[in-house]
A and B are shown apart, each in its own frame.
Chain A
Amino acid sequence: MSITSYVENGRPIAFSAVPCLAFDEFQQQIIEAVAQHWRVCSFFGMETANTSGSSHQPLKLIAVLASESEKRLAVLSTQVESSFVSFTPACPQFHMFEREIAEQWGVTPVGHPWLRPARFHAPYRDKMAQWPDLEQKLFHIEGGEAHEVAVGPVHAGVIEPGHFRFQCHGEKVFHLEISLGYQHRGIEKTLPGGPHKKTPYLMETMAGDTTIGHYLAYCQTIEALQATKVPPRAHAIRAVGLELERLANHTGDLGALGGDVGYLPTSSFCGRIRGDFLNMTAIICGSRLGRGLLQPGGVRFDLDTPERLDKLLKAVEQAKTDTNTAIQLLWDSPSVMTRFENTGRVSREACLALGLVGPAARACGVARDVRRDFPTGQYLIEKFPTEPCPESMTGDVAARALIRWHEMHDSLRFLLELLPKLPSGGIAASTKAITACQPDALVVSLVEGWRGEICHTAITDSHGRFATYKVVDPSFHNWIGLGMALRDQEISDFPLCNKSFNLSYCGFDL
């Protein structure tokens, strides 16, 4: 293992300290690292000055890697022109990153097995003549008995838009291709040159159901670049917000899983309890999604009065009782369990090869959790999760349900322990001008959102403005996992499998 350019979560390094390797060496180092269970958190292009006089504008490629076993993060870079040798055949977890790079910058990953646009948008480079031979068609199975089912972008429920194309033989799905981009609203393109006054609000709307997760990753980035020390009470309130967000969404998902197998008691109860968790966030900050709860340097709202704290604590206690009776029913009902078990299975090997994150990975027995592996803030003190998931996790819908239920227990216990003994003191460090960021620096900021690892990478220019700000939502890693889960399943199990991942369209599309 020859990687030596380590970084720490939420700590800046000088950008010049990131090695810029020759492409062959860059690729070899990464492939060797992945063979030793490193994985890719982020892989992106960054425009750089043309010093070689080449006709092609060079593109810097930056890879952020993580190793759970070594508890280390690493960053390395290289420079390419119009193309590079694709990583995907050797390391499938690069597949979507390479599609993204091709679409944004017109740089072709040669040898990519399925090079289609990731989001269907105009290229970032003004003078880019045409797509580098991007395959626009969807995968198609030929044969007299094969048929195709197309779903979306407008779906039957209140749900975000996406297109799903199933290749079927009778009821059996051979292959599901997921084609997104309908939610693409061009956030990342507006971030360089910032932070602007709009930037914090764009961070909160990367994925509305993960407002706190994404905004926390941004706050950590700014605090790193401004060397801000966040007070302990703010760290605690941030963790309360993040765990309430996890609880709300996990509750909603477990209820929806019940609904998708026609088990209405849990579905009905959980729909309501999810709202109760959202209302708890609103007790703190007025917004059910946690809009405006955080700010760089701390939080904007305090649990200032005993009444407010008591109201929140009572609500958490009530929700604990309510979720216990509502959700345990799933495991007490054989008709539910027979539908969950062995449905939508993803093997541990596939999970590792594809670089899945969050509950989807833990359900395959792959213990990845930023709170444990790369902790920041309150998670330096608290142990999350209390017990890492065993390798024997089955990777099916039942496992993805069970892991959520375990995580809810952990989060509830954490809240009930922390709230009565919140650290005293201020809730925010004195704020600095938004522009006062360290120049020529790089920060990697990871947060374990409820869907998994959120990775923000910021690189500043010589004036301390963002030269690049790259966001990776956990859904970016995990959509392919849903595709794999559907293989050899009945098409009627799609809603159940889909809900067991419950991935973000807008977080992917950005």
Chain B
Amino acid sequence: MLKVLAARFQQGFRTVGYPDSPPTTPDRLRGLPVIREDLCQKGCQQCAEVCPTDAIVRDKGLQIDLGRCLFCGACAEACPAGAIQFSNDPRLAVSRREDLIIGKTGIKLASEPARQIFGQSIQLRQVSAGGCNGCEVDINVLTTVVFDLSRFGIKIVASPRHSDGLLITGPVTQNMKSATLDTFAAVPTPKLVVAVGTCAISGGIFRDHAEQNNGATGLLPVDLFIPGCPPHPITILDGLLRLIGRIKEP
């Protein structure tokens, strides 16, 4: 018992300050891209050529679809003019799929709580539907003392019957499709769907493989999109706090 207390004392207080203080992320984190369209050279396609998931959109100037982006940074390395750079801002969650396509004006973050009916608390059932277990790693840490998700009234629960919605990761493989839809059906209405990670939004690196469904977006009504491969835990936390109306600034 004394050893446990000594250990507890040694471990100290380790909960992050976010959202009361700004997020602290590694300087090399590849977070929100900053697009300088004015630097982009006409006719140059080098960023699009190196992108493994065709996330670069050239219809209207220079845009990146964060719903497809792996945040690998290959485009920023390839660009001879420095028109694409990745900042270490981890805030990326949006409430509409089209808001993930960002250009020179930046990102329109989710700023409205999804449904008023959920009030300040939300229970979510996580469904891992393909993918690589990377997003699960960064969801799992939210329940540790560092992020302490339950202090915000957000809980990951064991049964869909006890939940207000699903937290889906992975491209939704063929073999997980029926289980994912069954789990969604088991959630009482009204219900939410949060797509975590590029796979769940667009299929990610597995997009167009015959064995998967290009994410949850085409299968279920998604209320919150959290991009990243995988998203940083702060990115997920920020998104969930926006979902419950705890963070409102755009």
> Which residues of A are in contact with B by a Cβ distance under 8 Å?
119-122, 153-154, 156-161, 181-187, 189-190, 197-198, 200-202, 204-209, 211, 265, 268-269, 271-272, 274-275, 278-279, 282-289, 291-292, 301, 321-322, 325-326, 329, 332, 504-506
Contacts and interface: CB of A to CB of B under 8 A. Distances in A.
B206 interface: yes
Contacts of B210: 122, 186
B222 interface: no
B130 A183 contact: yes
A208 B205 CA distance: 13
B175 interface: yes
A307 B141 CA distance: 27
Contacts of A187: 206, 209
Interface string B123-144: 0001111111111111111011
A272 B145 contact: yes
A469 to B, nearest CB: 15
B61 to A, nearest CB: 24
Interface stretch (B25-33, B34-42, B102-110): B25-33
Contact of B209 (A119, A190, A201, A287): A190
Contact of B205 (A121, A198, A265, A288): A198
A205 B132 contact: yes
A208 B173 contact: no
Nearest to B135: A208
Given A198-B52, A269-B11, A275 B141 contact: yes
Contacts of A286: 26-30, 88
Pairs A-B, 7 closest by C-beta atoms? A208-B134, A286-B28, A208-B132, A156-B158, A271-B144, A186-B211, A205-B132
B206 A161 contact: no
B136 A161 contact: no
A182 B180 CA distance: 11
Contact of A154 (B7, B53, B183, B206): B183
A208 B128 contact: no
A332 B134 CA distance: 33
Contact of A275 (B8, B144, B171): B144
A283 B25 CA distance: 9
B70 interface: yes
Q: How large is the interface on B (under 10, 10 to 19, 20 to 34, 35 or more residues)?
A: 35 or more
Contacts of B71: 291
B141 A274 contact: yes
B31 to A, nearest CB: 9
B211 A158 contact: no
Contacts of B130: 182-185, 506
B114 interface: no
Contacts of A325: 6-7, 10-11
Nearest to B205: A201
B176 interface: yes
A207 B29 CA distance: 21
Interface string B76-99: 000000000000100000000000
A122 B204 CA distance: 21
Nearest to B140: A158
A182 B179 contact: yes
Given A182-B176, A183-B130, A289-B134, A158 B156 contact: yes
17 contacts: A119-B175, A121-B175, A154-B160, A158-B143, A183-B131, A185-B130, A186-B206, A198-B53, A201-B205, A269-B7, A272-B145, A275-B144, A283-B26, A292-B30, A322-B10, A325-B7, A506-B132
A292 B77 CA distance: 12
Contacts of A278: 137, 141
B230 interface: yes
Contacts of B29: 282, 286-287
Contact of A271 (B53, B143, B171): B143
B173 A201 contact: no
B10 A321 contact: yes
A316 B14 CA distance: 16
B73 interface: yes
B3 A158 contact: no
Nearest to A205: B132
Specify which of B88, B130, B132 lies most central, judged by the most chain A CB atoms within 10 Å of its CB. Answer: B132
Nearest to B209: A186
Given A201-B72, A208-B132, A285 B28 contact: yes
Contacts of A154: 127, 160, 179, 183
Given A185-B211, A287-B30, A322-B11, A201 B133 contact: no
B212 interface: yes
Contacts of B53: 198, 201
Given A153-B179, A285-B28, 12 more contacts: A122-B211, A154-B183, A158-B128, A159-B136, A186-B212, A271-B145, A275-B146, A291-B72, A321-B10, A329-B3, A332-B3, A506-B133
B131 A201 contact: no
Contacts of B127: 154
Nearest to B229: A291
Given A208-B230, A292-B73, A326 B133 contact: no
A241 to B, nearest CB: 13
Contacts of A504: 133
B50 interface: yes
A345 to B, nearest CB: 27
Nearest to A263: B4
B242 interface: no
Contacts of B126: 157-158
A187 B171 CA distance: 13
